[in-house]
Each structure stands twice: as structure tokens, then as C-alpha cells.
Structure 1
Amino acid sequence: MSILLDDDAARRGVSAKPSFHVAFCVDNHYFRSMGATITSLIANNRDVHFVFHIFAFSVADEHRHRLRELEEKFGVNTKIHIVDPAVFQEFSRFTQSSYYSPSIFSRLLIPAMVRQETNRVLYLDADILCVGSIAELMAMDIGDTIAAVVPDAEATTRRRCAELQLKQQQYFNSGVMYMNVDLWMANKITERTIDALLTQGNQFRFPDQDALNVVLEGRARFIDKKWNYLYGLVGDLERDQRKLQLEGDAVFIHFAGAVKPWGNWTLHDSRNLFSRFHAMSPWADMPMDEVPKNYKEMRMHSRFLLRRREVAASLWWYWNYMRAKFRF
């Protein structure tokens, strides 16, 4: 963990807050949600000086302005890393027919881009909310491991271990990775992951995540699920369960899956948690999603409404789904 001194603290001879580096890989559509993730980290860790690294293929001027506002409002640092899309052109087949953005591959570049500033960096997906202190994570000694990771859901782990023939019978969700930069670089994890994608990619269900699991098998440390508490909103809404139900002490709640907490149309309690941190961020003037935005969300919304016995509304959204998908 590196230490930064702000100018005033240095002049007074007062020790500064510990500085902790966090990285995100986003496109312009995800800055709103990343803003909520960032403010949730700050709100629950007032004694930490954060340096946020944003990896993107491009950053709109409005988002650059909001990042500057974030720095001024909370006293954090932000660093934009522009990634040339051509770097990942060879992986386009993994993203053209799925909901994955090419930005998922940008996380492979993080260690090389931050190595001059820190030897530890936490990667987070932008659909995560922090609801507790990260002091324990910051104090964790990862000097002997390439990355600290969190197990994926049990069902996913069983399926992916069988499909990928993982001998350790362990599989992690790559939405949270606490990286040891020096060991990552020394072991050429980025290069080996790219090689796995190019040579074995056809068998990967989750492209870079599967590749990272293959490359890091037996080399990563698995830590408590509170650091990547996977919460699937689809499962709740299929049962018309609208309460946020957490088991244990979650620190990072990861809303993995196709439905996100910024969708007001879900009527799920997770909206309230997201809106709390969203309202604190410089992106607060960007509204949450009042209606489904694409045909996949429309279809799910139709299904959820039917579960609530709102038949007419369900049929209306199914009609909209059909129109959006088949363009008639």
C-alpha cells in the first residue's frame, strides 16, 4: 500500500491518510453506475485517500467534468487511461453476439498501467456497491499471491470447473480482484490470459473470466465472499421478492446479471441503496432507468409483471419486446 501526502499535510508535518488504488474498466454508458460505486466506497471509508483509475476506450467531456467535480468534492484523485480499441480487435468475436462490452478485456492492462504508482490495485466492476469498511482488505498481506479473488456462485463454480477441467475445483468471479502488480507482471498473467483466449476461447462461456481462472488456477488466493457478494436480482424478481436479502456481512454487493439496481421499473429495494449513493455523486442529475432500455429487459419485465399477476401490463411489455427484437 502506498502513502500520499497532500500539500497542507506535508507542510504541517502531519501524516496523510493511506492511499488506496482502485481501477474500473467502463464505457460511457457505465459512468453513472461507476459514480455510485465510487461514492459508496468514499462514504464508507472516510479515512482513506482513494486514487481511482478509469480505463476506457473514450471518455466524453461531460464525464471528464464530473470526474474533476468528484476530486474537488471528496478530495480524491482520478486518472483516466485511454485504451486503443484496436488492441482487442482480435477478441471481437466474444463480444459481438453477447451483452459483454469489449471493455471487459481492459482489466488485463491494469497492472502494466499502474505499476509506476502502486504495487497493489483493486479492480471492481461498476455494478458493485460498497456498504462497509475496506480496512481489513487494505491490511491483507497479498505479498505471496498474484491476486486475491472471491469464489463465484456454487452452481457456476461446478459448471465451469467441469467445463474448464479445473483440478483445484475452484472458480472465481473476476468482478473483484485485488492484484499484486509486481507478481502479476513477473508471471506474465496478461500475456498468458490473452494466449488462453486465442487458443481456448471457443470453450469459454465468460471470456476473460474463464481465461483468468485457467491461468490463475492454484496461483490466486480465495478470500471471503463478503468482498464480492453476488446478488442476482433476476432470481428475486422471478419470485416477486422485492426486499434486499443479504446473508452474512457483505462489504461489496455485486449486482451481477442482466438486471441492475438502477432500474426503477424493477420496484426492487436495491434501487433505494443505489439511489442513496447515486444522489451523492456528480452523476446525480442523470436519472435512473424508469423503463426497460432494451428488448432483453422488456422480456424480463413482462415475465416479472406476469409473476405479479399484472397480466395486461405483462402483455403490453411482451409486445414491446417483440417489436424491439424483430423491429416491426
Structure 2
Amino acid sequence: MSAALNSESITKAANDSFHIAFCIDNRYFRAMGATILSILDNNPGVHFTFHVLAFSVSDEHRARLLKLEENYPVQTHIHLVSPSLFSRFAHFIESTYYSPAIFTRLAIPDILKDYTDKVLYLDADILCVGKMDDLIELSMDNVIAYVVPDAEATTVRRAAALKLSQVKYFNSGVLYMNIKEWLANQITEATIHALLTGGDDLRFPDQDALNIALDGKAIYIEKRWNYLYGLIGDLENDYRAMRDVGDAVFLHFAGAVKPWANWCMHDSRAIFAKYHRMSPWADMPMDEQPINYKEMRMHSRFLWRRRQFADSVKWFWRYALARPR
């Protein structure tokens, strides 16, 4: 009898599940694991279904996702996306540091239309630090998508550059989509058109194109749902303590330095580490040292600000040897 009741409760929870999607490559599963655990830890009682869109998924990460389902009352789905789908965007991908995974956002509504009528897309460098109740309860009636404003300076520059109808510009790291309305209004098609015709005006290719496609059509919500927390500004001034984030729910560590970089010495590492330890990816270490020439250069600069001159010179030398000629 108890087993039957348990089965019924699980079925009901699955039907009432809140769907969240990630678009990542194999390098970002560790980060996504911490994102997922931060959501679960701060939102007990909510049933979640997590969708992972990727070009490929290693057996190791598949096993870890199954472990997530064993340890927590969640469902997970892997959706493999063919890289050929994005061949038309090759010139954008080749000319930026972005992973092709960012373009899979455009496929979310079509791929998930048989699973749910609404889905929250999140970048995998986001950590949840509060309850999502207010977001989950938002009405989706006649709404294509809820979005969150980018930084004020960025908004002014990009709205002008893209000739948007309003001085409004969102950061696409958080998108709450009404799948039916998105498809009916052909937002993916409009975004693709903007990508293919935008040329050099698109500084942030997919984000700029989404802003063009959703110009005047998206509903803006509070910044607490995508609180942009840039670590570089703190570290340039040797400020390693967390700043006050007020009522922020999603901390988005946008930028080149992430909280899983132990070498940065910023207190944000403790927040990431807390949720990382709870995830099936806990045995994967954080980044103890810079792993590419760009990180080496930043690390050298941060060390100089801390007056650790010898170490700064050492890392600048490593950067000089590693950078492309």
C-alpha cells in the first residue's frame, strides 16, 4: 500500500514538474551539476525535470545524470542535437570564443514541445541562492518569454547599436519560454534571420539576435532572476569578498572568470564548492590553476594587484609562452 501511494505521489509530482533546460558541452557538466544542486537545495518540495541539450554526451556524464535521479526526486532527459543544424552559423562560432552549444537555445522550444508547455533556460554558470516560487507562479497567458535586463551600460550600447524600438536589452542567460507562443510567433526563425543578416553589428551573436527577434515582445522581470555577478571587476581591485546581492535568486557569474577557478581566490568559490560537493560530479576537482593563456594573463594581473610580483611575473611568462603566435 505504501509503495502504491509512493508511486502515485511520484506520478503526480512528475505531472506538476517544473522544466529547466541547459545547452552545454561535455566541459560544462560539472558546472551544471552545481547549478542543479543549488536549485534543489533552495527549493525543497518542487519537482524538477532537467533537460540537457548537447551535441554529444560521454558515458561518464550519462552515468552521473542517472545518479542524480537516484539521489534526488528529479527527472532528466538528454537531447542530442546534430551539429549540422548550425553549419550556417559557422562564421560566428569560428570568430568568437563561444561554444557552438550556445546556439542550441534556438532549438529548445521545438525539441521540448512534446514534454512541456513552458521551460526555463539557464546558463550553466548560474547558481540559485533563493526560492523560485515567484518565478514558477508567473502567468504565461499571452506571454512569449520572460527576460531579465542586462547591465545598464550594456543595455544602452546594444539597444542603440541594434536599433531596438526601446532602450531595453536582456541577457540571454535566463529565458523563461512559453513554448506554444514562441513557436506560433516564429521567434526561432526570426532569430536565425537576425543572425544571418546582422553581420558585424552582432557583438554577442545569439544574444543580440534574440533581442532583435523579441524586441517589444518579451516581458521584462526583476534583475534578481539573473543577477549578473562579474568577478573580474572585484579581482582587478583585489576585492575577494562577496558583494551584497540583495534579494537575488540566480547569481550569474558571467565573464571569463568563474567561481570554480580556485586560483582566483574569490569567496564565490565557497558557494560553488558547496553545491559541487552535493552533486554527482563532486569527484571532479575545481580548477586549481589557469588552464588557458587568457586565464594565465588575468591571473598574472590579479597577482600584481595583490603585490605578489614574483608570482605575477611567473604567470605572465607562462601566458607569453602559451598565447597563439
> Cα 1:286–1:13, aligned 2, differ >3 Å: closer, same or farther?
closer
**Helix, strand or coil for the counterpart of 2:48?**
strand
Equivalent residue, structure 2, for 1:283: 281
Structure 1 CA distance for aligned equivalents of residues 94 and 260 of structure 2: 25
1:11-49 Cα deviation digits (max 9, x unpaired) = 479954731000000000000000000010011111111
Aligned length: 322
Equivalent residue, structure 2, for 1:266: 264
Unaligned runs of 5+ in 2: none
Q: CA deviation at 1:142?
A: 2.2
> Cα 1:14–1:293, aligned 2, differ >3 Å: closer, same or farther?
closer
> Cα 1:309–1:118, aligned 2, differ >3 Å: closer, same or farther?
same
Equivalent residue, structure 2, for 1:181: 179
* Identity %, equivalent residues: 60
Structure 2 CA distance for aligned equivalents of residues 209 and 114 of structure 1: 21
Equivalent residue, structure 1, for 2:109: 111
Equivalent residue, structure 2, for 1:64: 62
Q: CA deviation at 1:200?
A: 1.2
Structure 2 CA distance for aligned equivalents of residues 14 and 315 of structure 1: 59
**Helix, strand or coil for the counterpart of 1:276?**
helix
Equivalent residue, structure 1, for 2:204: 206
Match of 1:128 among 116, 126, 129: 126
> Cα 1:11–1:78, aligned 2, differ >3 Å: closer, same or farther?
closer
Match of 1:307 among 305, 308, 312: 305
Q: CA deviation at 1:205?
A: 0.4
The one-letter amino acid paired with 1:177 is L
**Preserved CA contact (<8 Å) 1:150 1:227:** yes
Q: Write the mapping of 1:46-85 to structure 2, written as runs, cut at 5 A.
A: 46-85=44-83
Equivalent residue, structure 2, for 1:246: 244
Q: CA deviation at 1:252?
A: 0.3
**Helix, strand or coil for the counterpart of 2:43?**
coil
Structure 1 CA distance for aligned equivalents of residues 193 and 4 of structure 2: 44
**Helix, strand or coil for the counterpart of 1:287?**
coil
Q: Write the mapping of 1:14-93 to structure 2, written as runs, cut at 5 A.
A: 16=13, 18-93=16-91
Structure 2 CA distance for aligned equivalents of residues 40 and 148 of structure 1: 21
The one-letter amino acid paired with 2:315 is W
The one-letter amino acid paired with 2:188 is T
Equivalent residue, structure 2, for 1:142: 140
**Helix, strand or coil for the counterpart of 1:304?**
helix
Structure 1 CA distance for aligned equivalents of residues 90 and 66 of structure 2: 32
**Preserved CA contact (<8 Å) 1:52 1:78:** yes
Structure 1 CA distance for aligned equivalents of residues 4 and 124 of structure 2: 31
Structure 1 CA distance for aligned equivalents of residues 299 and 91 of structure 2: 29
RMSD after superposition: 1.6
**Helix, strand or coil for the counterpart of 1:123?**
strand
> Cα 1:326–1:11, aligned 2, differ >3 Å: closer, same or farther?
closer
**Preserved CA contact (<8 Å) 1:150 1:176:** yes
Equivalent residue, structure 2, for 1:3: none
The one-letter amino acid paired with 1:298 is M
Equivalent residue, structure 2, for 1:170: 168
Q: TM-score if structure 1 supplies the norm length?
A: 0.95
